[in-house]
A and B are shown apart, each in its own frame.
Chain A
Amino acid sequence: QKEVEQNSGPLSVPEGAIASLNCTYSDRGSQSFFWYRQYSGKSPELIMFIYSNGDKEDGRFTAQLNKASQYVSLLIRDSQPSDSATYLCAVKALGAGSYQLTFGKGTKLSVIP
């Protein structure tokens, strides 16, 4: 069974610091990786996706993928109180017609002013 593991947290960081969120996955055939941000009581919002090994940067966010270690991470630089939310990692398997994502349970991030 495909599994996506995340530390549930809460992860507390001071304002202005770097927040590091980690995710491991069990299916070595996984192809695409996504990070969603979910505020309390709201629906998930896609903030980053990555398909190739290495780093991908978008503003204050950097996604890092290491397929050999089956590990994907999200770095948030200059963390702000508005970044306080639950971050969901999602993984898509390789294969034609395979459109399903497998989600982790999420890591709750708290940025302390």
Chain B
Amino acid sequence: DGGITQSPKYLFRKEGQNVTLSCEQNLNHDAMYWYRQDPGQGLRLIYYSQIVNDFQKGDIAEGYSVSREKKESFPLTVTSAQKNPTAFYLCASSIASASYNEQFFGPGTRLTVL
């Protein structure tokens, strides 16, 4: 089955700790994205990548880092510099098209700071 997987489903972080969220897709999509969703809020873009070994900051990149070493994988690290990391993190992917951009989401990771 083609799709996007995210792990873990739930993650707990202690103060001052870095944590990494996994995102893998087998849809053969070139573009991948990380969003953050807070209660009652829309999705806010953290980082996106249109091609391997290249990525761009989104609207709220501070305190986060990413890598794109493989087409299928786009892990997100939440660093200790992110002061309010408790949120629902969503990974998405799409074909890299300037005209059409249907993005498909993984199941999400819910991060809680203890």
Residues of A within 8 A of B (CB): 4, 8, 31-32, 34, 36, 42-46, 49, 51, 88, 90, 92, 95-101, 103-106
CB-based contact A99/B105 at 8 Å: no
Complex Cα spacing A42 to B90, Å: 10
Complex Cα spacing A95 to B104, Å: 21
18 CB-based A-B contacts, threshold 8 Å: A4-B42, A8-B40, A34-B102, A42-B107, A43-B90, A44-B43, A44-B105, A49-B102, A51-B100, A92-B101, A98-B98, A99-B48, A99-B98, A99-B101, A100-B58, A103-B43, A105-B41, A105-B42
CB of B15, distance to nearest CB on chain A (Å): 26
Q: Give the contacting residue for B90; candidates A8, A44, A104, A106; CB below 8 A.
A: A44
CB-based contact B104/A32 at 8 Å: no
Chain B CB within 10 A, most for which of A8, A45, A51, A99? A99
CB of B67, distance to nearest CB on chain A (Å): 18
Complex Cα spacing A42 to B106, Å: 9
Within 8 A of A (CB), among B4-54: 31, 33, 35, 40-45, 48, 50
Q: For chain B, give the interface size range.
A: 20 to 34
CB of B4, distance to nearest CB on chain A (Å): 9
| Complex interface: chain B residues within 8 A of A104 (CB) | 42
CB-based contact A103/B104 at 8 Å: no
Q: Give the contacting residue for B99; candidates A31, A103, A105, A106; CB below 8 A.
A: A31
Complex Cα spacing A96 to B18, Å: 35
| Complex interface: chain B residues within 8 A of A100 (CB) | 45, 48, 58
**Which partner residue on chain B sits nearest A104 by CB separation?**
B42
CB of A78, distance to nearest CB on chain B (Å): 25
Q: Does B87 contact A (CB under 8 A)?
A: no
Known: A4-B42, A44-B90, A106-B42. A101 touches B103 (CB 8 A): yes
CB of A4, distance to nearest CB on chain B (Å): 7
Q: Give the contacting residue for B105; candidates A32, A45, A95, A97; CB below 8 A.
A: A45
CB-based contact B98/A43 at 8 Å: no
